[in-house]
Structure 1
């Protein structure tokens, strides 16, 4: 009896991208003014006042952020119940909005989605966010649903890697990938410089993408070629959330820009070597920003030009650091900006310390 050959592994193509952010836009000048009149200003010391003013008055690469609050006064209501309710109210809404846009761009119907993967680090729900996305998009009851938590700013790539694996295993034909962060629901203030700087950098938003096993002739083809990851637990304490007083407290250290740049370079070299490519072969860079200092470190280490990071810089300036959702915004900007055909590099890094990268091939 002849053995039946198994079907070849499916490909993976980015078929639709969607982004969502709260409607309220706040400039860094407005944030500083709100901080100075808040009750928190008097609770923090003179050094903290200096740090906040330095970050919010100088060019830190960020001009504005979108926050899921009705007034900047609300952001200084910092207690576990208020923050948990903020996450519950806004995370499902933002996730579903981004997912609906991605679904529309893909040309698919809700019933076509065979799996959904949702990542977040700024709040916890049980049942998880995936159930809210399933409900709001009207996905099938038998859809495979996965909730990934605790991967911080780096989560977009592990999310997409899981989607790629599901396609390769012929488990489904279309995967919905969603990253959503309500950073205003993870607000914490004290006199630690890293905590204060974090409060000045992060915004709220969600990104989504559809990964499909086959391309569509009528759409621009963005093919997932290869990816890899680097996890460095020794540097875990360089960037992480810790639980304090029932809330998430962000630990941010000076080592982060150098760590991000070094690990991003190692991940890039690994994948390019396998593809027999060089840095100069990459036409478009879709990079998580972290902040201005991280982008400067990336320019020095990779090395790439200021122009190469134009999409990341534009998103950082207008939205701030969106944690895991950030690279979806950069990918959306590259697609809308008609980035040139050829090799694209998608990379994210964050808590762990972890770094991930993926090589994409973009058609004309």
Structure 2
């Protein structure tokens, strides 16, 4: 399987940490939360937490603090199809293909629910064939990108499609929830909105580097499910984020990496470019320690986190696009995502000029 073209999309409105803190302090929610929560929000948004700004699907930051089921559901419906389609169109253009060439589309999200699913909106907006195979994957959180691509790989291998469109879109502002729980508050300070897409094909793009998916592995540990998950509260999604997440992410990511490298007869030093989900600054630091890497090795993940915040499942598409834009050297690349479940996925990519 080859990555034939990649595209990303974000809402136009960009908000800095300082702007987010100011809007919070002016909102009705500030008075509803306790002094400890005020201190935590100021700490996260005033100190270096690995991010500087986010792009959110709201006209003003004041809109973020209108938190009720109907408003959030409408925000998801108004924005998820738009961003998913824009990222997919950009990926298709880079792949040098037409909408009629796509035999299957796989769309992942965890920040909203539609029935019929998002895939139908992407099919409609992109003008894909009526007989295209369409799949909606939900509930996989930040880890969803690689399971999405693994399904695409299976469709290609089975002969069901020659080209598969893989899309992840998250409207995290449509999963807004506030209370005095530290994990809930940190989540509200870190996540942004965005979409990523890649065209997966049996043949590489004639232009640009050839990106071949050579092997992959998934690992899921349901005993750690409660470390990172959404729960339903008052008809809305409430993010549970615990202190165990950075160490869990690093431990699981290392196990997946070691297994795939051993099968390929490779070592850690053979990986030249790292395409990692960031989660947050503490996750990146835990990965550096566990893998024995310098901060420079995870520079693309750190850069995307700083620019966009945590984009959940869409994040690794942005990291891959950043590495390609920087003309990262050919060789062995490692792609990894992790999140709710607790789950972790990794893929070994061979990139040639």
TM-score (norm. length: structure 2): 1.00
Superposed counterparts of 1:7-156, under 5 Å: 12-156=1-145
In structure 2, the partner of 1:254 is: 243
SS in 2 for 1:217: coil
2: distance between equivalents of 1:216 and 1:259?
36
1: distance between equivalents of 2:208 and 2:214?
18
Is contact 2:95-2:205 (8 Å) kept?
A: no
2: distance between equivalents of 1:335 and 1:216?
14
How far residue 59 of structure 1 moved from its aligned partner, in angstroms, is: 0.1
In structure 2, the partner of 1:9 is: none
Superposed counterparts of 1:194-209, under 5 Å: 194-209=183-198
SS in 2 for 1:53: helix
Count of residue pairs brought into register by the alignment: 353
In structure 1, the partner of 2:181 is: 192
How far residue 217 of structure 1 moved from its aligned partner, in angstroms, is: 3.1
Segments of 5+ residues of structure 2 without an aligned counterpart are none
2: distance between equivalents of 1:217 and 1:177?
20
Aligned counterpart for 1:183 among listed residues 152, 172, 179? 172
SS in 1 for 2:57: coil
2: distance between equivalents of 1:170 and 1:297?
40
CA deviations on 1:49-94 (whole Å, 9 max, x unpaired) are: 0000000000000000000000000000000000000000000000
Moved more, 248-257 or 298-307: 298-307
| 2:289 counterpart of 1:300 | yes
CA deviations on 1:305-344 (whole Å, 9 max, x unpaired) are: 1111000000000100000000000000011110100000
2: distance between equivalents of 1:219 and 1:288?
24
1: distance between equivalents of 2:206 and 2:82?
32
RMSD value, Cα: 0.5
Runs (4+) of structure 1 exceeding 2 A deviation are: 216-219
2: distance between equivalents of 1:319 and 1:61?
10
Segments of 5+ residues of structure 1 without an aligned counterpart are 1-11
2: distance between equivalents of 1:217 and 1:329?
22
How far residue 304 of structure 1 moved from its aligned partner, in angstroms, is: 1.4
How far residue 216 of structure 1 moved from its aligned partner, in angstroms, is: 3.2
Greater Rg, structure 1 or structure 2?
1
SS in 1 for 2:115: coil
2: distance between equivalents of 1:75 and 1:215?
42
How far residue 171 of structure 1 moved from its aligned partner, in angstroms, is: 1.1
TM-score (norm. length: structure 1): 0.97
In structure 2, the partner of 1:3 is: none
Is contact 2:5-2:205 (8 Å) kept?
A: no
How far residue 96 of structure 1 moved from its aligned partner, in angstroms, is: 0.2
In structure 1, the partner of 2:331 is: 342
CA deviations on 1:329-362 (whole Å, 9 max, x unpaired) are: 0000011110100000000000000000000000
